[in-house]
Amino acid sequence: MNSIGIRVSPSEVNFCVTQKINGELSIVTFDKIIIPKALDVPSQLAYVRTNLNSIFIEYNIIKAGIRVHEGNTQNLSIERIYLEGVIQELLADCTVHKYFLGKLSSIAKLIEEPVAKVKEYIEGDDTLIAYEGVTKSAKGTRESIITAFAASELEIEVLSQ
């Protein structure tokens, strides 16, 4: 099953796609969608929605997680809130069967690690998830990766027919 982790900022959307086969989790890809500044806000939202929908279809995404802002953040961006809302709407109407909105505590719970360890990973310590090229990557990339790992742990009810 494929999962995606998403981390939104006002200027880009970082994502990571993971695949779990026989209990073994691997990173398929990670990248970002750069939001064109020349577009007005509604067009930017549509741009992100369309591109993410294409990614969901291309990688057959079943589970997803969005790394959301912590409730105590000082610099809350209205653009980020808009983007997170559009992505949530997309998740309710696409190939995704289950998703979560991830604060540090919910991510830590899903991957069964202490919050402090998750924070260390996000800040640059790669002892939690060692993957070539990620050590020096941006914080948003690391947050999308850890969110994808957490999303892969979501339980999905399988209905037999």
Q: How far apart are CA 50 and CA 73, in angstroms?
A: 29
Question: What's the mean pLDDT in 34-53?
Answer: 95
pLDDT at 96 over 70: yes
- Is pLDDT larger for residue 48 or for residue 78? 48
pLDDT at 158 over 60: no
If pLDDT is split at 50, 70 and 90, which confidence band does 161 have? very low
Q: Which domains does the chain have, with CATH numbers?
A: 2-151 (3.30.420.10)
- Look at residue 30 and give its three-state secondary structure: strand
